[in-house]
Amino acid sequence: MTSTTTDITTKAATGDGIALPEKAARALATGGGALTVISCFLAWTWTAAYPGNLTVYGYPGGLQWLVLVSGALTTLFGLSSYGIKGLKWLTPGGADAAVKFAALATLWTTLFTAWSISDTLGGLVNLEPGGFVAVAAALATYLGARALPFERPVLDPADPEDSTWEQYKHNARNRREIVKAAYAAKAPAPAKPLPAWAEILVIAAVLGVALGVFTYGITTPYQELFIGFLITAGFGFAALHKAGLIARFTTLTARHRNVALVGAFVAAAAFPLTQTDDQYATLGVNILIFATVALGLNIVVGLTGLLDLGYVAFLGVGAYTAALVSGSPNSPFGVHLPFWAAILLGALASMVFGVLIGAPTLRLRGDYLAIVTLGFGEIFRISMNNMDGKSGPDITNGPNGIAGVPNVNLFGFDFGAAHTIAGFTIGRFANYFLLMLAITFIVVMVFRRSAESRIGRAWVAIREDETAAEAMGINGFRVKLIAFALGATLAGLAGAVQAHVNYTVTPDQYVFANAVPPNSAFLLAAVVLGGMGTISGPLVGGALLFLIPNKLQGMGDLQLFAFGVALIVLMRLRPEGIIPNRRNQLELHKDLEAPTVLSKAGA
């Protein structure tokens, strides 16, 4: 058998199939990015009929801002690749891969803008010279980035006299060498230690930028701008990851976990202060509700490995319980408990249902458990529909639901009224956003403490191998029942707030799947998409999966199709999720060396 490799550091003469001298390719990518930035200060169309007013010379508008950001990012990474002293810190993990993804952001955002202008106004004739300059510059940037050299291991061919199985093993070893070489090339260089106060300032600055990006995305006023934002943000995040900046920031947050956690919630609390329109504050509070419920489901799915397809029913149990005891005129009980009592009852009712459903079903595994939980979700919805006084007892007012849920009044503070604090006027939905943020903080702390506790380690053991865990003395049924009950309790907390935010609780809000979240399918997708077993993963995944359908309602029937295609692509390219658990990442990428990845594990 021949050796696997001879030299895994031989530099290829060309880039990804494009033959250009390295200096020319680097100059083309960097100069093209700069030219793209300049083109954003030119008019791209002649009429203001296209949203964003791209007719102004000397000032970007609408989608031009996104092209400008991606072009500037490409230029900065390109300059960093020259080894300029003041910019080398931008690419601790290597500049070339970062330039390629930033160039993709520039190209696709520019092409989408040009296509959108042509489609909306009726042809390419509606593009001004500035638009053509932008397209040409973006193409030049992409070609230059594609031509950048890359490290490729040189592998010996298999011996033709080997058997088919031996050739297969030889090819598998070659693939592992390629992946290991690529992974080593991406590994961030060790960062110079900074004083603790400087690291905290860096964390604060990054969180401030994250707040700005989130605010921009949630306040995009038209569909074309939001699609452009998704393209720029997606490829831009990939470019930052390839540059090694995400790994650097992760290292800092791991070093200052409590500071990062508090800083993240402070940044989130600043969001309502940036809003003057309740439309976006409403969207913000509903995103928080959905993301918090997804984090509760992460205990069941991500930590314990139980496939729950009816989890949204626990959200409904909490919402219905709170609505029935909060003084709604449609409630047959005629009681009006304070909010703190209503939210505790909602959480308690969800926990009881979690135990009642989990006790007889958690001895099942895999597909059988999934089918039972799916059935529970449908039974809950149908039961709420039938409790209308005709098909069953008069409790939930049937399909009309429980309307007129009053606003929360907590210790004399009316969440339904606007308040002026330190010069900022905070409206109704901003009040609920801050209330839900406090609930989210509680859920995050419960998840974090549980995951790091003895019971959390037992959940992970059950997830990895239930038979082996039970052989080591873990009571599998009890441990799974605790996870099921805790996840249901957290969903009940969010449901109690949801009932007051929406004024009305109806059965059609709690289905398995439809085009608008929350529903069980979207909740499960949020956990898988964001990253199972992590804290920030389901929060990010939940925010995206609630925001995208609400922003793309104009696509009609194509909305779910586009969403499904995007999920397939993401799961193919990054099956471990946007913010992966390191151990899950290792399991899904078998070719990575275990010591390299596990040394960074701990999420």
The band of 409, judged by pLDDT with boundaries at 50, 70 and 90, is confident
Model confidence over 197-216: pLDDT tens digits?
Answer: 888 898 999 989 988 998 89
Residues 159 and 171 in one domain: yes
Token readout for 365 is 């595994």
Residues 172 and 105 in one domain: no
How many domains does one find in the chain? Answer: 4
The band of 188, judged by pLDDT with boundaries at 50, 70 and 90, is very low
Nearest to 319 by CA among 464, 499, 176: 499
State the chain's maximal CA–CA distance in angstroms. Answer: 85
Domain range enclosing 239? 22-149+188-248
Residue 416 lies in a domain: no
> Residue type at 386?
N
Model confidence over 524-535: pLDDT tens digits?
Answer: 888 988 888 888
Residues 109 and 212 in one domain: yes
Find where tokens 């429980």 sit. 402
Residues 452 and 323 in one domain: yes
Residues 113 and 209 in one domain: yes
Residue 418 lies in a domain: no
Per-residue pLDDT at 362 exceeds 70:
yes
Residue 425 lies in a domain: no
Residue 112 lies in a domain: yes
Helix spans in 276-396 (H): 278-298, 312-325, 339-361, 366-386
Residues 171 and 317 in one domain: no
User: Cβ contacts of residue 8 below 8 Å, gap of 6+?
Assistant: 151, 153, 154, 177, 180, 181
Per-residue pLDDT at 178 exceeds 80:
no
Residues 100 and 162 in one domain: no
Note the pLDDT of residue 279: 80
**DSSP state at residue 421:** E
Residue 270 lies in a domain: no
Spatial separation of the C-alpha atoms in residues 464 and 584, rounded to whole Å: 10
The band of 594, judged by pLDDT with boundaries at 50, 70 and 90, is very low
Helix (H, G, I), strand (E, B) or coil at 425: strand
DSSP codes joined into one string, 309-344? S-THHHHHHHHHHHHHHBT-TT-TT--B--HHHHHH
Note the pLDDT of residue 398: 86
- Between residues 171 and 73, the one the model is more confident about: 73
Mean pLDDT for 424-436 is: 84
Per-residue pLDDT at 391 exceeds 80:
no
Residues 541 and 561 in one domain: no
Apex 290 CA angle, 505 and 278, nearest 5: 75
Residues 134 and 224 in one domain: yes
Contact (CB, 8 A) for 110 and 134: yes
Residue 492 lies in a domain: yes
The band of 556, judged by pLDDT with boundaries at 50, 70 and 90, is low
Note the pLDDT of residue 6: 35
Phi, psi of 388 (to 5 degrees): -115, 10
Note the pLDDT of residue 9: 35
Note the pLDDT of residue 173: 65
Contact (CB, 8 A) for 44 and 27: no
The band of 601, judged by pLDDT with boundaries at 50, 70 and 90, is very low
Quickly count: other Cβ atoms within 10 Å of residue 261's Cβ: 17
Spatial separation of the C-alpha atoms in residues 320 and 324, rounded to whole Å: 6
Per-residue pLDDT at 218 exceeds 80:
yes
Note the pLDDT of residue 180: 54
Of these ranges, 185-199, 488-502, 521-535, 583-597, the one predicted with the greatest mean pLDDT is 488-502
Note the pLDDT of residue 598: 40
The band of 479, judged by pLDDT with boundaries at 50, 70 and 90, is very high
Model confidence over 122-157: pLDDT tens digits?
Answer: 888 899 999 999 999 999 999 999 888 754 444 455
The band of 40, judged by pLDDT with boundaries at 50, 70 and 90, is very high
The band of 588, judged by pLDDT with boundaries at 50, 70 and 90, is low
The band of 562, judged by pLDDT with boundaries at 50, 70 and 90, is confident
Mean pLDDT for 272-290 is: 84
**DSSP state at residue 16:** S
> Residue type at 479?
V
Residue 266 lies in a domain: no
Residue 285 lies in a domain: no
How many Cα neighbours within 13 Å face the side chain of 349? 24
- Average confidence score pLDDT of the chain: 82
Per-residue pLDDT at 12 exceeds 60:
no
- DSSP collapsed to 3 states, 483-526: HHHHHHHHHHHHHHHHHHHHCCECHHHCCCCCCCCCCHHHHHHH
Note the pLDDT of residue 165: 56
Model confidence over 89-133: pLDDT tens digits?
Answer: 888 877 888 999 999 999 999 999 999 999 999 888 899 999 999
Residues 108 and 181 in one domain: no
Spatial separation of the C-alpha atoms in residues 117 and 124, rounded to whole Å: 8
Per-residue pLDDT at 186 exceeds 60:
no
The band of 600, judged by pLDDT with boundaries at 50, 70 and 90, is very low
Model confidence over 44-71: pLDDT tens digits?
Answer: 998 888 998 899 999 999 999 999 999 9
Residues 458 and 533 in one domain: yes
The band of 585, judged by pLDDT with boundaries at 50, 70 and 90, is low
Residues 209 and 134 in one domain: yes
Mean pLDDT for 261-287 is: 85
Answer whether 0.85 is exceeded by the pTM.
Answer: no
Note the pLDDT of residue 520: 84
